[in-house]
Amino acid sequence: MSRDLANRTTKLSESKTLVITATANRMRAEGIDVTNLSVGEPDFNTPDPIKVAGHAAIDSNFTRYTAAPGIIELRKAIANKLLKDNQLKYDPTQIVVTSGAKHALTGSLLATVNPGDEVLYPVPGWLSYPEMIRIAEGEPVPYHCKGENNFRPD
């Protein structure tokens, strides 16, 4: 059975981040010294305590689906961190854990943007902003931030 993709996907363009990554990889293969700032990959391996905790979770069969906003223990730890380090008070029920910033922003846009809504995004900014707005059926509207303003909106 064949099914076409949703019409909203036709408004999307190729990922500029992946185009830059491919270009950097090609240049590197040609022997050019390249610092690739496109994909948010860390330049270090996973720290050992995280590996150990991951193995321990698997060994104790902590391998099932969790609550959609994240496990409560993690959300409590995040709330404590925000209070201790940032003097921000949040209840753990106000915290949602996602698999990354793109997931969080796209979910937020899908929940708040109606078809045709204009959504401002900063320039310079993340290359993904316009596409995330388009997938939510909004209209991306850039606003330019200037260096003399420390890249803050006017």
CA angle 80, 152, 101 (to 5 degrees): 45
Residue 2 has pLDDT above 80, yes or no: no
Residue 3 has pLDDT above 80, yes or no: no
> What are the structure tokens assigned to 36, written together?
């690739």
Predicted pLDDT of residue 8: 81
Q: Thinking of the domain 42-149, which architecture would CATH place it in?
A: 3-Layer(aba) Sandwich (3.40)
Indicate the domain borders of the chain.
Answer: 42-149
State the pairing for strand pair 139-144/118-123.
parallel
Cα separation of 20 and 40, whole Å?
12
Nearest partner of 117 among 102, 97, 139, judged by Cα: 139
The residue behind tokens 């994909």 is 39
Predicted pLDDT of residue 56: 98
> What are the structure tokens assigned to 76, written together?
């409590």
Question: What pTM did the predictor assign?
Answer: 0.73
Contact 110, 133 (CB under 8 A): no
Report which of residues 56 and 38 the model is more confident about.
56
